[in-house]
Amino acid sequence: MKAIRLVKPGSPLEEVEIAIPSVAARDVLIRVKAAGICHSDAHYRARLSPVARLPLTLGHEVAGVVEKTGPDVQAFATGDRVCVHYLVTCGECGFCRAGTEQFCTTVQMVGKNRDGGYAEFIVVPERSVFRLPDEIPFEQGAILMCSSATSLHALNKARLRPGETVAIFGVGGLGVSAVQLAKYFGAAEVFAVDINPKKLELAQHFGAIPVSASAGNPVEQIQELTRGRGVDVALELVGLPVTMRQAVQSLAILGRAALVGLTQETLEIAPYAELLNKETEIIGVSDHLASEIPALLDLARTGKLDLSHGIIRNVPLEAGAVNDVMDRLENFSDDVRVVITP
């Protein structure tokens, strides 16, 4: 089968011919119909974050059709529409039992620790497979499983309650979902912060109040828009110390800042003014939970989470096209989400 693989970090991905993966007793072999190209994939290619082995097929946002199942698989059959939870976990360790399986002692991320979905086929254990409702196109099913799922987990971790106010820093793939989910969970006001006018426009379309970070300090703008109160919840989805600090500085008394964007750099905080004096909280967010996925699929199935608005572009399963998309991602271009459709 054809696969787009990371062979040498720091160099473009390569298109290679490899064997179709073998199917163990509890495995599901999926014919990939859509694989999202995520910012973290560009990070792997650029050597900004490590992958577990080389060469490796990237791609952790995957939807497709069941091609073949192992003899012990009960819940799926050939032809089923499915999407993949990108964490492969044991189901038995303390973290798995506690429902925090992203910390499973043997956790493997699809497209990072094991081969991912930039290929014609992918194999994953049944435990990581979810049925994709007919109403959700494969492309949307794929990106749901990363950006939307992580946005949902971030809002859960930040303990958003109805009537609260929210600021979302960065309106890329995660931000568009975060705006809609925050509104759906009853946020009174959602402020969307970005420098890109197209992304701000999209956020506004979904009911957010746009805050242009290129028009001035977003913290001051949010303070003004909330009459000096600040917001109850801030999500940082960019991965820059400056926006992380702005998220914290935007908080009201007892506010919670959930940090999702990745950076290796240090975040500076003024402990008294920004944390202690307001009893604010800074919360780390890592991936999401399998238990959050059914609710998310239901929101997408019923149209409460709309991923159809000019946010998806398709490219073929070709190294040149995929490398191009990653080049653009590295430059923070307008593309909100690009999906490989083999």
Which positions lie near Zn ion, rule CB under 5 A? 38, 89-90, 93, 96, 104, 146
Q: Which is nearer to Zn ion, 3 or 142 (CB)?
A: 142
Residues 42 and 326 sit within 8 Å (Cβ to Cβ): yes
Q: Which of 119, 96, 125 is nearest to 2 (CA)?
A: 119
Q: Which is nearer to Zn ion, 104 or 132 (CB)?
A: 104
To the nearest whole angstrom, how small is the minimum distance from the Cβ of residue 173 to Zn ion? 8
Q: Which is nearer to Zn ion, 104 or 258 (CB)?
A: 104
To the nearest whole angstrom, how small is the minimum distance from the Cβ of residue 93 to Zn ion? 3
Nearest-Å Rg of the Cα atoms of the chain is 20
3-class DSSP state for residue 67? strand
CA-based end-to-end distance of the chain:
11
To the nearest whole angstrom, how small is the minimum distance from the Cβ of residue 209 to Zn ion? 27
3-class DSSP state for residue 267? coil
To the nearest whole angstrom, how small is the minimum distance from the Cβ of residue 133 to Zn ion? 21
- Cα distances from 20 to residues 57, 59, 220, 316, in angstroms, run 12, 16, 55, 19
Q: What does residue 85 show for φ and ψ, rounded to 5 degrees?
A: -80, 120
How far apart are alpha carbons 47 and 30 in whole angstroms?
Answer: 28
To the nearest whole angstrom, how small is the minimum distance from the Cβ of residue 101 to Zn ion? 6
How far apart are alpha carbons 60 and 184 in whole angstroms?
Answer: 26
Phi-psi region of 304 (alpha: psi -120 to 50; beta: other; left: phi over 0): alpha
Q: Which is nearer to Zn ion, 111 or 255 (CB)?
A: 111
To the nearest whole angstrom, how small is the minimum distance from the Cβ of residue 265 to Zn ion? 21
Overall size of the chain counted in residues: 342
Q: Which is nearer to Zn ion, 89 or 165 (CB)?
A: 89
Q: Which is nearer to Zn ion, 81 or 337 (CB)?
A: 337
To the nearest whole angstrom, how small is the minimum distance from the Cβ of residue 145 to Zn ion? 8
Minimal CB distance residue for Zn ion: 38
| 92 burial via Cβ count (<10 Å: 0-12, 13-18, 19+) | exposed
Q: Which is nearer to Zn ion, 219 or 258 (CB)?
A: 258
What residues does 212 pair with on adjacent strands? 194
Q: How many CB atoms lie within 10 A of CB 284?
A: 9
